[in-house]
Structure 1
Amino acid sequence: MLSSLRHSVLMLAAATALTGFAAGADAATLRSDVTVSGNAVTLGDLFDDAGDAAGVVVADAPAPGLTTDISVSRVSLAARRNGLAWRNTTGLTHVTVARSGVAVPDAEVSSAVASAIIAATSSLAPSAKLQVDFANGASGIQVGIGAPATVKVEQIATNPRTGAFDALVRAPANDLTAPLRRISGRAYPVADVPVLTRDVAPGDVVRSQDIDWVRLPAMRVSQNIVTSLNQLVGMSPRHAIRLGEPIRTTDVQAPLVVAKGMQVDMTYSVGSLTLLARGRALQSGAVGDTVDVLNPRSNRTVQGVVEGPNMVRVEALGAPQLTELKS
């Protein structure tokens, strides 16, 4: 009787254990892909219900923004060693692990790459500007959540002829434990040039609010291209200039304040004496230009320097010309 009772108790205990094992197997389900935010991948990340084993580290996490695969055999070994029983009923061979992160702005990465190239290239001036184009359209560099979004170029190789580069960078910049990431692309010298924000016709005067800036490859910016505001503000087009187009120095001139055929005031000063006469401009001119002016009374031509709207200062008059100016 006692022996039979013991046998029943043992059978009940075994059944209970098997039931618990089956329940544990049903509760712990392996995910096929997961996203983590920290440096490690744990059983709690991989299973829906890892229980007390949730904090056990299975593998290092990939760098922020990247993915990696962990074999199911490795996961299974870690699970068995830590009392987590489960069955691979779906036939998984690996688990894909992604790591979330915060993108380092491409402008930050471009600046670091450009500085490294300029420092490594003797033919480039320290003040040179480089346009950096990444091979995939973006650098793809990320840092962990809460980490500073900075980057440092540890190694770089360039092709001076094509501008191609290949670099190893670390992000965050001062974290020596951060993995190196490889980026590639092309970098080339550029120049910022002013362009108009509206169509401007001859006779119009260019204002500072009419100007925007565009960045062009340096090889496209010849010596006759306007590159500064001083060359453009206050000038007038010689012909119609369309918005957004690079402007040549020969496309603009100082505004004409004397028009050919118009009446002008001529002045001549000698000592305290100033003579004034009216004439007709034979040429158009801007302030500072020398133009021919016809004295209609004498029908003789004199030369003068344009001083303002329809105002010409006659210089170096000879005796006959002085008489003509008075007449």
Structure 2
Amino acid sequence: MKNMSIRSVFALVLPLAATLLAAPLPALSAEEDAPLVETPDLPPPPVNLKPSVEVDGAYVVLGDLFEGVTKYADKPVAYAPEPGKRTVFDARWLQSVARSYGVMWQPVGQYEKVTVTRASQVIDQAQIAQEIHAALADHNVGPSADVVFNTRNLQLYVPSKAEARVGVSNLSYDEHSGRFVADVEAPVGAPDAQRVRVSGRVYTTTSIPVFKRNIAKGETIKESDVELITLRESEVRDDTVGSAEDLIGKTPKKMVRAGTPVRDAEVERPLRIAKGALVTLVLQTPQMTLTTQGKAMENGAHGDTIRVQNVRSKTIVLGTVSDNNMVSVSQNAETPASALLTN
């Protein structure tokens, strides 16, 4: 080795160096290739209190109270109020819930709160009365009867997605006084149905004609002037006109206001003949027609029988008002044809 020349050493080293230089370099991994950057911790999203909220189910969940909650948002934290009612959660209770579920929220003041309302459908008094009325059919209560509750503004509330049907049970009815007591519930048959005991009275009703507009004295009443309204029978006087036919063609003795029940004494048939007026007396038979002038002794409407005095003979006869200033008489023992003849 000592005797080896420099030329011999280079002869051995150079081929080895060439081989090493020709070999590929090992590839760097992605982690080795990428620069090292520190990722800062992102702050949690802000959480805000919802001052008011409407819920549709039986529970209040965490996300109903706090806006921005991601974890446990669907976690029930309280029972929802009954349909149609509301519950208020104060700052102390809200802070306790937030702490229990790791929600980063603190009340600004002691008066912070959340008002939770339960979504619902309203069953009004008219619908309840309709069901009571249907149940009273078994007690011979007619369809025109009026059901009146002792409680004003009676209402039932049911969940917004429930079927808004009313059930009636334990109905008690006194036919003499018209009073009733019953239990109603909605939704019918539901375990959480709202139940309430109701009481009231049934009034029989009737339809009577009234005027659509004010009708003046002497004005002839037309069919288009009349309409029917429904009143309790106890509110209708015995002398009230009961049908439109009894008004049409007549005239008021004085002005009658629209919508007011009309009494029999307030209307009359239009006068065709006034007392003291000169009229034509007519006697008609198959063989002849006799006419003469007379003087009306009383007022007369169409179809009325009135007394008329023959102007010339002064004989008084009975006749029927047939037209304006015309009275028809018939020949009989009391009214012979000679009574119409002038002297």
**TM norm structure 2:** 0.68
Distance 1:320 1:152, change over 3 A: closer
Give the partner amino acid of 2:143.
S
CA distance, structure 2, for counterparts of residue 78 and residue 165 of structure 1: 46
2:131 corresponds in structure 1 to 112
Within 5 Å, give how 1:279-290 maps onto structure 2.
279-290=294-305
Structure 1 residues 286 and 158, CA, compared in 2 at 3 Å: closer, same or farther? farther
Q: Deviation at 1:72?
A: 8.6
Bigger Cα Rg: 2
Paired position in structure 2 for 1:205 = 220
2:261 corresponds to 1:261: no
Residue deviations 1:73-120, cap 9 Å, x none?
A: 998898778x5535563558985421234544554333233333x336
Mapped partners of 2:88, 2:150: distance in 1: 26
Alignment correspondent of 1:125: 141
Counterpart Cα distance in 1 of 2:320 and 2:93: 91
* Distance in 2 of aligned mates of 1:183 and 1:86: 47
* Structure 1 partner of 2:169: 155
User: 1 or 2, which has the higher helix percentage?
Assistant: 1
**Paired position in structure 1 for 2:243:** 228
Matches within 5 A, 1:80-99: 83-86=101-104, 89=107, 90=109, 96-99=115-118
Indicate if the aligned counterparts of 1:302 and 1:321 stay in contact, CA closer than 8 A. no
Q: 1:278: which partner in 2?
A: 293
Q: Quote the offset at 1:246 in angstroms.
A: 2.0
TM-superposition CA deviations, 1:27-47 (whole Å, max 9, x none): 444545422245543322222
Tell me if the contact between 2:319 and 2:328 (Cα under 8 Å) persists in the aligned partners: yes
Cα distance between partner residues in 2 of 1:248 and 1:188: 26
Deviations 1:200-226 (A, max 9, x none): 333212223333454444322122222
Residue in structure 2 matched with residue 179 of structure 1 by the alignment: 193
Structure 2: distance between partners of 1:146 and 1:206: 54
- The gaps in structure 2 that reach 5 residues or longer are 1-39
Stretch of structure 1 that moved more, 196-205 or 60-69: 60-69
Judged with a 3 Å threshold, the aligned counterparts in structure 2 of structure 1 residues 220 and 257 are, in CA distance, closer, same or farther, namely: same
* Corresponding residue SS for 1:119: helix
Taking only aligned residues, the RMSD between alpha carbons, in angstroms, comes to 4.1
Q: TM-score, normalised by structure 1?
A: 0.71
Kept in 2, the 8 Å contact 1:257–1:308? The answer is yes
Which residue of the other structure, out of 252, 256, 262, is the alignment partner of 1:237?
A: 252
